[in-house]
Amino acid sequence: MAVEVHIEAEQPRTSDAELVARTLAGDPSGFTALVERYERSLYTLAVRTLRDREEARDATQEAFVKAYRSLHTFRPDAKFSTWIFSICYHACCDRLKRSRRYSGEEIPDRADAGPGPEAQAIANDDAGRLRAAIDALPEKYRSVITLYHLQGKQYDEIASVLGVPLGTIKTHIFRAKEQLRQILAASEREP
Amino acid sequence: MNDRTDDELDRLLAALPLDEPPAGLRASILAATVQRVPAEPIDPWEASAWGLLLALALWLVPHLSAINGVIATIARTSFTLTQPTTLIWLTVGVTAAFAASAIPDFSAGINLARKGR
């Protein structure tokens, strides 16, 4: 089944590589277009990883600034979305480490406390319920399922972003989906 | 909902809208990147002029010291005052004086001695 991913970067008019080349040649419109193209997806990755809108805002900005400063190191044969998602994900991890909420690979395989009353109130439709269910996943599954949403079924790209083996990504996606199903089912049963 | 198939879950995920970034995020990203005004570089002529002046001043000091005894004394005193050992002893002295003045009996004794005179 072909999954239709809602991301502006999927059908770009100008390729990312061309926009990067334009930026490196001194044309600021190249990077402006890249910001317009990836702002929402990077913010989504940050907000779902960090579960804090203020922190996510800062992490998104930090990712773009880092990308801009190290744009000359970007290999033209690489995929820009993977590169910038990776920068953003690591910025989020740094923030989680700083706030002592991050526990690396040893995150327990249990769901977090789940959404609060405010989040539950807005989770009255499928999208809201799904978003709340993703928020309730453990950190490692939240990131992987968000990238699965943003990048489609490109497991190798997700593995590159997160810096973990392909097999681990497949396992994490399988388990994340299992937990999503359980959380969604539980939320449906609730009055 | 409980028995959602993989395809159904994929469709749900694909249909999930992206989060809306806060207003002003794009503007602040652009302000920190492409619109950032680079620091004004130092004019090479300005740097050369300052370097020349400093070199001239350094060259003049020993020459003037040799010619005039006063300048030599000033130079020597300035040199001595900038030595770490001198600065340490000056600090120790000032601190000791300050600490002694903070002792009530000590200050009172000095005042009594002054009155007695």
What residues does each domain of chain B span?
A: 6-37+58-116
Cβ atoms of A89 and A49 within 8 Å: the answer is: yes
Instruction: Identify the closest residue of chain B to A5 by CA–CA distance.
Output: B14
Q: Does B22 contact A184 at a Cβ distance shorter than 8 Å?
A: no
Q: Do both A35 and A63 map to the same domain?
A: yes
For B76-92, the pLDDT digits (tens) are 778 887 888 888 888 99
Cβ distance B32 to A32 less than 8 Å, yes or no, reads: no
pLDDT: is A66 or B80 the higher one? Answer: A66
A79 and A115 both lie in a single domain: no
In this structure, the answer to whether residues A78 and A114 fall within a common structural domain is no
Same domain, A116 and A57: no
Count how many Cα atoms sit within 13 Å of the Cα of residue B15 in the half-sphere of its side chain.
Answer: 12
Look at residue A130 and tell me if it is in a domain.
Answer: yes
HEC string of B6-43 equals HHHHHHHHHHCCCCCCCCCHHHHHHHHCCCCCCCCCCC
Nearest to A39 among B11, B15, B25 (CB): B25
pLDDT reported for residue A10: 52
Choose among A107, A91, A9: nearest CA to A50.
A91
Query: Which of A141, A119, A140 lies closest to A129 in space, CA to CA?
Result: A119
Residue A9 lies in a domain: no
Q: Mark yes or no for CB contact A181/B25 under 8 Å.
A: no
| Mean of pLDDT values over A154-164 | 90
Instruction: Specify whether the CB–CB gap between A8 and A41 falls below 8 A.
Output: yes
Task: Tell me the per-residue pLDDT of B49-73, one tens digit each, with 9 for 90 and over.
Answer: 899 899 888 887 777 666 667 677 7
Q: Could you tell me the CATH number of the domain that includes residue A18?
A: 1.10.1740.10
Q: Please name the member of B1, B16, B35 whose beta carbon is closest to the beta carbon of A149.
A: B16
A26 and A98 assigned to the same domain: yes
Once rounded to an integer, what is the mean pLDDT over residues A130-136?
89
Instruction: Write down which residue in A102, A127, A161 finishes a domain.
Output: A102
Q: A85 and A116, same structural domain?
A: no
Is residue A7 assigned to a domain?
no
In this predicted structure, which of A77-86, A98-107, B9-18, B97-106 has the lowest mean pLDDT? A98-107
Same domain, A91 and A137: no
Contact in structure between A126 and B4 (CB atoms under 8 Å): no
Domain boundary among A77, A102, A127: A102
For the whole prediction, is pTM greater than 0.80?
A: no
Average pLDDT over chain A, rounded to whole? Answer: 82
Computed from CA positions of residues A124, A127, A129, A135, in that sequence, does the dihedral angle turn out positive or negative?
A: negative
* Closest to B34 in 3D by CA, of A140, A24, A118, A43: A24
CATH number of the domain that residue A168 is part of: 1.10.10.10
Residue A4 lies in a domain: no
Q: Does A126 touch chain B (CB under 8 A)?
A: yes
User: Alpha carbon B56 to chain centroid distance?
Assistant: 28
Q: CB–CB of B21 and A32 under 8 A?
A: no
Regarding whether A112 and A185 lie in a shared domain, the answer is yes
Q: Print the domain residue range for A142.
A: 108-191
Tell me the average pLDDT across A51-56: 92
Please identify, among A67, A102, A137, the residue that sits at the C-terminal boundary of a domain: A102
Domain check: are A98 and A175 in the same one?
Answer: no
Kindly state whether residue A54 falls inside one of the protein's structural domains. Answer: yes
| In a domain? residue A73 | yes
Q: Which residues contact A113 (CB under 8 A, 6 or more apart)?
A: A136
B93 to B90, B96, B98, B103: CA distances (angstroms): 5, 5, 9, 16
How far is B104 from A174, CA to CA, in rounded Å? 78
* Cβ contacts of B20 on chain A, cutoff 8 Å: 40
Distance CA A138, CA A105 (A): 11
Residues A73, A37 share a domain: yes
| Domain annotation covers residue A40 | yes
Residue A8 lies in a domain: no
Overall domain count for chain A: 2
Pair A114, A176 in one domain: yes
Closest-CA residue in chain B for A128? Answer: B16
Contact indicator for A54, A82 with CB cutoff of 8 Å: no
A158, A136: one domain: yes
